[in-house]
Amino acid sequence: MYRTFAEKLAEPDLIELDDRIYVLRFEVMKVTSVYAAVKDLLARGVIHRGQTLVDSSSGIYGHALALVCRELGLKCHIFASVAVDAAIRTQLKYLGATYDQVPSSESLKHDQETRVRLVHAYLNEHPDAYWMRQYHDDVHYIGYESVAKSLVSELGSHEITLVGGVGTGASTGAMSRYLRASCTEVRVAGIQPFGSRSFGSESVPLDGFIIAGIGSGIRFDNIDYRAYDDIHWLDFDVAAAGCRHLLSTTGVFAGLSAGAGWQVARHLRSTEPTGGPIVFMAADPGHRYVDKVFPADGPLLEDPEYRPIVISDLADITGPWCTANWSRRPFSVQDNLPELVLQAS
């Protein structure tokens, strides 16, 4: 029995979907990182009960922070992107959080820059508030340690391929760190949308719908670039087709990052027909994507069978799907917010 709802949400379900392919399904993935991070900060005296925790979010991080703050006796304020829908706004309100929603922007860079600037303005006005820095602080890694250990134990394999969005680095990056601590062969395939700065695709035009939560418009300091063996850049159509195929063939109703993960996982299996299990991460259900991803009358035609173009140079990045062997190499993103001083934890 779980003692609290947050405790339950922090633990994902591992489900076998097809030969060698598994999904690590979260209801609200960010609860895993936020729950452990906030408890760690409290234990170290960095924050105190009754204090306001603030951050920006495109959806599930804000929901997770509000839920954890309610449970642990803290206040919460979120600067929300336009991707935060009515369902999440309702939960924020009833969980006692406050929020400001930022108007729609023409770019991921401008959207995330604006929200971070608003966080700093809020901190100036509320000096006792604490910025959680989900984009920068690897305290968000801690919660994934138990998930990684459980994954290795359940699969009973020392050869695992992990597939998932890069995002802030606190999911696939954290999982790679803890998996490699106890598993001899771990391959990590990270997923990025076009227009993201993290892996050099910011000059590639977006296709009108950013895959919230897996890309970066600003520098994210908690990404470990050396964690990734492969990077896959996918556009909205490829990820959405993956969502529909995932639902119709397995029953799993999940968001765009999971649809992208399903596409990459099946591609990896097709190119390497033998080997260990392939596990992709599903961060949230598909409810917030219904209108844009799942037509009301269902898919009238089979979704196209997309295949990635293999590239060897970032200058060759192209849609709708391309991939490169990253080979765990470092990468540097220049800070485009030089005047902002990051808060130390």
Average confidence (pLDDT) over 6-21 = 96
The order of strands in the sheet holding 52-57 is 98-101, 75-80, 52-57, 130-131
In 199-329, which ranges are E strands? Answer: 230-234, 278-282, 309-310, 321-325
Residue 95: its pLDDT value, please? 97
Reported as a pLDDT band with limits 50, 70 and 90, residue 109 is: low
What whole-number distance in Å separates Cα of residue 333 and Cα of residue 245?
Answer: 35
Pairwise CA distance, residues 246 & 242, whole Å: 6
Q: Is 159 helix (H, G, I), strand (E, B) or coil?
A: strand
| CATH class of the 31-135 domain in this structure | alpha beta
Least confident range from 94-98, 120-124, 171-175, 341-345: namely 341-345
Mean of pLDDT values over 191-199:
92
Q: Mean pLDDT throughout 39-56?
A: 97
The CATH number of domain 5-29+139-325, selected from 3.20.20.70, 3.40.50.620, 3.40.50.740, 3.40.50.1100: 3.40.50.1100
Cα gap 28→284, rounded to integer Å: 5
Structure confidence at residue 341 (pLDDT):
33
Which of 195, 187, 191 has the alpha carbon at shortest distance from 283? 191
Between the CA of residue 233 and those of 147, 196, 236, what are the distances in Å? Answer: 26, 9, 10
Decide if pLDDT at 134 tops 80: yes
Cis peptide before 330 (omega within 30 of 0): no
- Confirm whether 5-29+139-325 and 31-135 share one CATH topology: yes
* pLDDT given at position 176: 97
Q: Which position has the higher pLDDT, 164 or 217?
A: 164
Could you give the percent of the chain with pLDDT greater than 90?
Answer: 72
- For residue 322, the cross-strand partners are 233, 309
Domain ranges of the chain: 5-29+139-325, 31-135
Q: What is the pLDDT of residues 270-314, one digit of tens each?
A: 998 888 999 999 999 999 889 889 988 877 667 788 999 999 999
95 and 89 Cβ atoms separated by less than 8 Å: no
Residue carrying the six token digits 């598993």:
183
Query: pLDDT value at position 210?
Result: 59
Question: Measured between alpha carbons, how far is 308 from 325 in angstroms, rounded to an integer?
Answer: 12
